[in-house]
Amino acid sequence: MDFQLTEELRQLQLSVRRLAQEKIRPRAREIDASGEYPQDIFDEFRRADLLGLCIPEEYGGSGAGIMGLTLAIEEVTKYSNVLGLMLLLTRLPTGPIMIAGSEEQKQRYLPGVANGSERAAFCLSEPGAGSDVAGMRTTASEDPGVTGGYRINGTKCWISGGMQADWFVVFAKVGDPNLRHHSSIRAFIVDASAPGVTRPRVDQKMGVKGIDTTEIHFDDVAVPADQVIGGGFSLIMRSLNAMRPIVAARGIGLAEGALMYATNYVMEREAFGKTIAEFQGIQWEIAKCATEIEAARLLTYRAAWLADQGMFSKEYVPALSMAKYYASEVAVKVSGVALQLLGAAGYMTDHPTEQFYRDARQLTIVEGTSQVQLGLIGRGVLGHDLWWD
Ligand SMILES: Cc1cc2nc3c(=O)[nH]c(=O)nc-3n(C[C@H](O)[C@H](O)[C@H](O)COP(=O)(O)OP(=O)(O)OC[C@H]3O[C@@H](n4cnc5c(N)ncnc54)[C@H](O)[C@@H]3O)c2cc1C
């Protein structure tokens, strides 16, 4: 067992840490306040070659894997959860293509994301089907005029980066949408400019501002045969399983950022004739948060390592889901403690603690809520996928 990062990963971690301190820390509050898409930071990521971290070298990426992306997102999210999301979006929609796409699809769609000339989004959730993925109502019917082609009809919602995306991975059911057959679900690559695609609504969110979530309508959208990925329900699950450490990285990064900020504050703030850092009650709060962050980090790095070994099928679900569940809950907890440690100051917009607190709440909802993760972990233990003898 080796707890050291390789020299390459360590250098990546240090270089992203510098970029985050120099470029992201000064911009994070402005991005939150304006809610505008931070194109300048996207350009910084492109120049630093961070958009293709998890894309293999043969498709234009740097091949740093899920571990590399996890480390980069952790560093970035110490200052901005939305910029962690910006990096995450290089993997979420490309994942199904890397897992189940054809060689032609990989060559057509992966290099553009890696070099920043294209952006993509992942369209799974629907107004009536979030956690209940198999309840989706979007349909894909065979296009009578086009061999192997389909026509997609339906509505997807809360789609991160939907407004900026040049293409989407869309999940839809072939056949009767009332049926819950796992094999009826397929993945499709849909060009955002295709006739019948509209983006009528952008959500007003409490946090993670700067990258919108969007409703997207598909009205008889033609998808040619070479844009059908296929898959089934298991492709959704494998895609999301491999993402667990990447979402978890946002949780640990956010918690680290919030705790570092609050720790610096308590060493300056005086009450009762001393700094509040001198009170044991304050030290214990910091110690508990630090311990939970490190536990979440270990789960997250192990999950990233597993995913990079291709270990993201059903039997690895408990280990992957624990990372996402625990790291996102730690982010919520630590951001709350950090705000409390600043007292009134923490509640005001003069400090980033209120933003950490708002931004953290997203993490226990997206890509499988905490309750959904607990269900997956519980079933894994009941089925002995996680067992200790
Ligand atoms: C900011 C943001 C960005 C998002 N980005 C994307 C995106 O890019 N692409 C995309 O496809 N989706 C996206 N989503 C949607 C997200 O994946 C869903 O919100 C999530 O899957 C939960 O679905 P839901 O909101 O419909 O909640 P519901 O499924 O309606 O759940 C409501 C509550 O019930 C609980 N619950 C549901 N089922 C169970 C159960 N079996 N046992 C116990 N409790 C249960 C849930 O945990 C939750 O607390 C985004 C959401 C947000 C907030």
Q: What is the domain class of 7-114 according to CATH? A: mainly alpha
pLDDT tens for the 389 residues of the chain, in order: 889 999 999 999 999 999 999 999 999 999 999 999 999 999 999 999 999 999 999 999 999 999 999 999 999 999 999 999 999 999 999 999 999 999 999 999 999 999 999 999 999 999 999 999 999 999 999 999 899 999 999 999 999 999 999 999 999 999 899 888 888 999 999 999 999 999 999 999 999 999 999 999 999 999 999 999 988 899 999 999 999 999 999 999 999 999 999 999 999 999 999 999 999 999 999 999 999 999 999 999 999 999 999 999 999 999 999 999 999 999 999 999 999 999 999 999 999 999 999 999 999 999 999 999 999 999 999 999 999 99
Per-residue pLDDT at 140: 97
* Cα 370 to middle of ligand 1, angstroms: 9
Which amino acid is it at 76?
A: V
Residue (of 244, 267, 250) closest to 317 by Cα position: 244
Domain borders along the chain are 7-114, 120-231, 234-382
User: What's the gap between Cα 326 and its chain centre?
Assistant: 15
Fold for the domain defined by 234-382 = Butyryl-CoA Dehydrogenase, subunit A; domain 3 (1.20.140)
Per-residue pLDDT at 1: 86
- Residue 369 Cβ contacting ligand 1 at under 6 Å: yes
* Cα 347 to middle of ligand 1, angstroms: 27
Active site residue 367: yes
* Cα 129 to middle of ligand 1, angstroms: 8
- Residue 363 Cβ contacting ligand 1 at under 6 Å: no
Query: Which CATH architecture best describes the domain 120-231?
Result: Beta Barrel (2.40)
d(C-alpha 372, C-alpha 375), whole Å? 5
Instruction: List CB contacts of 343: < 8 A, sequence separation 6 or more.
Output: 269
Which amino acid is it at 350?
A: D
Per-residue pLDDT at 385: 96
DSSP letter string, 158-213: EEETTTT-SEEEEEEEES-TT---GGGEEEEEEETTSTTEEEEEE---SSSTTS-E
Question: Phi, psi at residue 198, to the nearest 5°?
Answer: -135, 155
d(C-alpha 314, C-alpha 74), whole Å? 26
In 224-374, beta strands by DSSP E: 228-230, 270-271, 274-275
Residue (of 363, 365, 379) closest to 296 by Cα position: 363
